[in-house]
Chain A
Amino acid sequence: MQVPPSAGMDTFPQLLIRNARDWADRPAYREKDLGIWQSWTWLEVFEEVRKLSVGLKSLGCKEGDKVAVLGANRPHLYWVFAAVQALGGIPIPVYADSVAEEIAYVLGHAEVRFAVAEDQEQVDKLLEMSEKLPLLEHVIYENPKGLRDYDHTRLHRYLTVQEAGQTLLDNDSKLADEWLQRVKDGKREDLAVILYTSGTTGRPKGVMLTFNSLMVSVQNANEFDNLDETADTVAYLPMAWVGDHVFSYAQCITAGYCVNCPEGPETVSIDRKEIAPTYMFAPPRVFEGMLTHIMVRMEDAGKMKKKLFDYFLGYANQVGERILNGEKVSLFERMKYAIGEFCVYGPLKNEMGFSRVRVAYTAGEAIGPEIFKFYRSIGLNLKQLYGQTESSVFITSQPDGQIYADTVGVPMQDVEVRIADNGEVMYRSPGAFLGYYKNDDATKDTKTEDGWVHTGDAGMFLENGHLKIIDRAKDVGKLNDGSMFAPKYIENKLKFFPNIKEAVTFGNERDYVCAFVNIDLVAVGNWAERNNIAYASYQELAAHPEVYKTIQSHVDQVNKDLADEPMMAGAQIKRFLVLHKELDPDDGELTRTQKVRRKFVADRYAPLIEAFYAGETSKHVVTEVTFEDGRQGTIEATVEIRDMETYNVKTVSAIGEAAE
């Protein structure tokens, strides 16, 4: 088949044509099917997209139509994006694990006419909600399993739609030209996609991104990390999330690299090992999980192996990061590190699927500095970036060689970042969104008239020009003496200790900072077992003097760290207690996604907070609890409150100047 010479470089379908021409034989998408990796070249993807696109058109899909995409990461579903964009339509990826009502809300709000679903599970959700979605006309499914007996008047198989498209193309030679003309007509300013933010508060909002926003953002990112058509990545994060849309579609089609789709969510780690991606992204919890997994397995390893492992990891800790950052390292050190690479780091990276990684990113949450350092020391180029849906991901990113565990890097090219008077991070960039779909009020609240976007995060620039994110802006408060109080920032520092599972700090409009601490029953329980400390319950273990001593040393360390940071030094923890019960979503203390509901906890444990500020050293409390079977009960405890030493600020000058 003939690939047209050029169709421009302004939209993703146009770029797809370029890829089919320039990299006809290079793999574009791979999928593991029946245990074997199947791949599609750019030329094949182009053909697949074209026949799907023409098939969709024959069903009535036209310019401006919204098409929902529902399912796990499958090449066929990524092609829908290009197929719809080629017709001037707008794809809307939807979180596949949402319940039917949530999906119905998004589809209804976006006025979706077509939906492409992965399998029976997703089709069922759509059919269940069909009464609420009068505008939804056709549902197309990829995997026919279990769908044979369904009524097929509005339901179509993906393959059938493609075949219909191919037949039309075969019978009418003009059709291919018409289709191509529509692709050429696509403009940079056109709406490319609407991504609904998951919305922890209130209804999800539809973020409208143009080809231009995505393209600028993505091209800068490709340049930043030298990504080209030889890169490989594994797609495993939800397709509706902006990160995946960028990494596995926009960036891939722009740079021309290959996206690999695992068999299923449970096989990701096996598939990652087989593919060995060169470019990857994972949230901090994935890196934490992998490290824990390795450490647990090493506990069972032979003595010799364990010794070797410990020795070389210790060594990597000294020199690994310096080598990775390109600093001056002596020949002897390099050689010793090479032996370590051969014996330990290499096999370790291979086990985790990191053998070929050139750049790996983590974002979304703060990552523990120890974990971050571990991966970098064994030679994985792990970096952090900061972004959001509204900015087509990239706002700041860490350049190679300038990596700090507690920052998110410097502003990307074409992105301006400033800190508002209230400490909120704001940015202006061509990558910024057009607005929220059908929600002008929200758009006005978020985006100023001259294009600055509120991120909702509080942050600051360090002396080296790197941005540091502190907390959600609305949570940041002030102590009575005027110093800044960022609760989550302090809590994260506490939570980086394995013994501490959860922490809640108080201090807004108070004289000093106090903290509730929840111990991690697994870690502390394990410690207790090894030290012959008997305990019958969480409550008993939490109140144990030795446990208190350990937690006190952690809090002390946090205070020392805070004293190093002039802006935060005023918010050192003056008093703390170990809470007599675990914070639990069943009691409403945490959300279902394990986030602390600060206000609720403050109300519920008001007597303890009073005791903090009244200077009492212990307090008897009765707390109502809901047991797992739904019964109500109470637990009583006398909770000890300890005072902490606070430290003087070490360096006074630097930030005082920077803030002015």
Chain B
Amino acid sequence: MSVMDPTLEEVKRKAEGREVLLDLENVSLSFGGVKAITNISFNIKKGEIRAIIGPNGAGKTSMLNVINGFYQPQEGVITFNGEKRRSMKPHLAVSQGIARTFQNVALFKGMSTLDNIMAGRATRMKQNMLWQMLYWGPAQREEIEHRKKVEEIIDFLEIQHIRRTPVGTLPYGLQKRVELARALAMEPELLLLDEPMAGMNLEEKEDMSRFILDVNDQLGTTIALIEHDMGVVMDLSDRVVVLDYGRKIADGVPEEVQSNPEVIDAYLGVSH
């Protein structure tokens, strides 16, 4: 009775019907003489899970950094939600609806899970610092509103038991989950996940996969993820883009990408 596995055609049709959320056109990024990204174009559609894969040093994290405005590409056009981007800063990306998690967990280690997630709502708080310090009237009402939202996320990711625990003392798998929670607290339209399963054991990976699918399905968040575990990538994502040495070598649904000879070469190496 559960959802049947869709056929390749169905997947393609589903993807085609969707609106484009983020579009990258001929984007290039270099640091001095080093070309990190060369002339890459692809798009991310609303409501899909888009994986970015490639061997080490292929430019995947740079790509995420370009998307959320940490790096400024020298060439190319980026369109988000129909708007062409000019100069971009990470905090602007957040206010536009892009949130991310990091390859190495980047939480406030001494703060509790709850406070870390509350911090994720900081950009959405409207009252000024003085009101917030007094914690009275509108500031109090606002805080309660935000706390409610945070509790929903805690419930969603099943981390009630560590609500008051300082995150520095948590096991790695849980820290990753808290980081995801903090990103979700921004209520993003596009969520960037940089290796969400790195260093996890099988059970933690299964949990994380389920949460990523739930976020995508229940909250309708569009997700772009970088991941090395091919099993996870092929199971989770709707479409996959493959990078190698800063160039795009393949783009399509998982089945297509898997059988692409260039991709196989990039991963397994080529005899010269």
**Interface contact B161-A124, CB-CB below 8 Å:** no
The reply to whether A34 and B148 form a contact with Cβ atoms under 8 Å apart is yes
B-facing residues in A252-298 (Cβ within 8 Å) = 263-264, 266-267, 270
- Binary flags per residue of B199-230, CB closer than 8 Å to A gives 1, else 0: 00000000000100010011000000000000
Cα distance, A333 to B31, chains bound together (Å): 79
Residue B16, interface by CB 8 Å: no
Q: Which residue of B lies closest to A151 (CB)?
A: B1
Whether A630 is near chain B, meaning CB under 8 Å from some CB there, is no
Residue of A nearest to B210 (CB): A146
Contacts of A155 in B (CB 8 A): 1
Q: Is B262 an interface residue (CB 8 A)?
A: no
B2 and A150 form a contact (CB under 8 A) = yes
Residues in A whose Cβ lies below 8 Å from that of B154: 34-35
Query: How would residues 1 to 26 of chain B score, 1 for a CB under 8 Å from any chain A CB and 0 otherwise?
Result: 11100000000000000000000000
* A154 close to B155 (CB less than 8 A): no
Q: Which residues of chain B come closer than 8 Å to A153, judged between CB atoms?
A: 1
Q: Among the interface residues A35, A130, A146, A148, which one has the most CB atoms of the partner chain B within 10 A?
A: A35
B161 to A, closest residue via Cβ: A266
Give Cα A110 to B76, complex, Å.
Answer: 67
Instruction: For B163, list chain A residues within 8 Å (CB).
Output: 35
Q: Do B214 and A149 touch (CB < 8 A)?
A: no
Q: Does B151 contact A (CB under 8 A)?
A: yes
Knowing A263-B160, A264-B160, say if A148 contacts B151 (CB, 8 Å): no
- Convert B99-134 into 0s and 1s, putting 1 for each residue whose CB lies closer than 8 angstroms to a CB of A: 000000000000000000000000000000000000
- Residue from A130, A145, A150, A267 within 8 A of B214 (CB atoms): A145
A153-186, CB < 8 A from B: 153-155
* Interchain CA distance A148-B3 in the complex, whole Å: 10
When C-beta atoms are compared, the residue in chain B nearest to A269 turns out to be B161
Distance A34 CA – B148 CA, assembled complex (angstroms): 8
Residue-wise interface mask of B (160-184) relative to A, using a CB-CB cutoff of 8 A (1 in contact, 0 not):
1101100000000000000000000
Q: Known: A34-B148, A155-B1. Contact between A146 and B214, CB under 8 A?
A: yes
Q: Is B75 an interface position by the 8 A CB rule?
A: no
Do B161 and A145 have beta carbons less than 8 Å apart?
Answer: no
- Selected from B2, B148, B152, B164, the residue in CB contact (under 8 A) with A124 is B2
* Residue B255 is within 8 A (CB to CB) of chain A in the complex: no
For B256, the chain A residues whose CB sits under 8 A away are none
| CB atoms of B1 and A149 under 8 A apart | no
Instruction: Give Cα A378–Cα B158 distance, bound, in whole angstroms.
Output: 35
Q: How far is the CA of A130 from the CA of B1 in the complex (A)?
A: 9
B48 → chain A, closest Cβ, in Å? 16
Q: Are A148 and B148 in contact (CB under 8 A)?
A: no
Chain B residue nearest to A262 (CB atoms) is B160
CB atoms of A264 and B2 under 8 A apart: no
Cross-interface CB contact of B161 among A34, A127, A146, A264, cutoff 8 Å: A264
Given contacts A34-B151, A35-B151, A148-B218, contact A266 B160 (CB under 8 A): yes
Whether the pair A263, B161 counts as a contact (CB closer than 8 A) is: yes
Please provide the chain A residues from 11 to 57 with a CB less than 8 Å away from any CB of chain B in the complex: 32-36
Assuming the contacts A263-B160, A266-B160, A270-B161, asked whether A127 and B2 have C-beta atoms less than 8 A apart, the reply is: yes
How many positions in chain A have a CB within 8 Å of any CB in the partner chain? 22
Q: Given A263-B161, A267-B160, is A146 in contact with B1 using a C-beta cutoff of 8 Å? A: no
A146 x B2 contact (CB < 8 A): no
Q: How far is the CB of A644 from chain B (nearest CB, A)?
A: 45
- List residues of chain B with CB within 8 A of the CB of A127: 1-2
Q: Which residues of A contact B152 (CB under 8 A)?
A: 34
Chain B, residue nearest A149 (CB): B3
Known: A264-B160, A266-B160. A34 touches B1 (CB 8 A): no
Tell me the minimal C-beta distance from B201 to chain A in angstroms: 14
Residues in B with CB closer than 8 Å to A33 are 155
Given known pairs A34-B151, A34-B152, A127-B1, the reply for A149 and B161 (CB within 8 Å) is: no
Contacts known (A145-B214, A266-B161); A150 close to B1, Cβ less than 8 A: yes
Shortest Cβ distance from B151 into A: residue: A34
Within the complex, the shortest CB–CB distance from A305 to chain B, in Å, comes to 21
User: Are the C-beta atoms of B2 and A35 separated by less than 8 Å?
Assistant: no
A149 cross-chain contacts in B, Cβ below 8 A: 3, 217
A124 partner residues in chain B, CB cutoff 8 A: 2
Residue on A nearest B162 in the bound complex, by CB: A266
Residue contact B218 to A146, C-beta cutoff 8 Å: yes
Measured CA separation A154–B148 after assembly (Å): 34
Task: For chain A, residues 436 to 476, give those with C-beta under 8 angstroms from any C-beta of chain B.
Answer: none
Which of chain A's residues has its CB closest to B148's CB? A34
In whole Å, how far is A104's beta carbon from the nearest beta carbon of chain B? Answer: 15
List chain B residues, Cβ under 8 A from A35.
151, 154, 160, 163
Q: Contact between B1 and A148 (Cβ–Cβ < 8 Å)?
A: no
With a cutoff of 8 Å between Cβ atoms, the chain B residues found around residue A32 in the complex are 160
A593 CA / B151 CA spacing, docked (Å): 36
Q: Are A264 and B217 in contact (CB under 8 A)?
A: no
Smallest Cβ distance from B59 to chain A, in angstroms? Answer: 35
Whether B217 contacts A34 by the Cβ 8 Å rule is: no
Task: Give the docked Cα–Cα distance between A172 and B128 (Å).
Answer: 55
How far apart are the CA atoms of A263 and B163 in the complex, in Å?
Answer: 12
Min CB gap A610→B, angstroms = 44
Chain A residue numbers with a CB within 8 Å of B3 are 149-150
A154 contacts B160, C-beta separation under 8 Å: no
B10 to chain A, nearest CB (A): 14
Q: Sorted from nearest, which 9 A-B pairs have the closest CB atoms?
A: A266-B161, A34-B151, A263-B160, A151-B1, A267-B161, A35-B151, A127-B1, A149-B3, A267-B160
Q: Can you name 30 A-B residue pairings with CB atoms under 8 Å?
A: A33-B155, A34-B148, A34-B151, A34-B152, A34-B155, A35-B154, A35-B160, A124-B2, A127-B2, A130-B1, A145-B156, A145-B214, A145-B218, A146-B210, A146-B214, A146-B217, A148-B217, A148-B218, A149-B3, A149-B217, A151-B1, A151-B2, A153-B1, A154-B1, A263-B160, A263-B161, A264-B161, A266-B160, A266-B161, A267-B160
Having A34-B151, A148-B218, one finds 11 other A-B pairs with CB under 8 Å, namely A34-B154, A35-B151, A124-B2, A127-B1, A145-B218, A149-B217, A153-B1, A263-B160, A263-B161, A267-B160, A267-B161
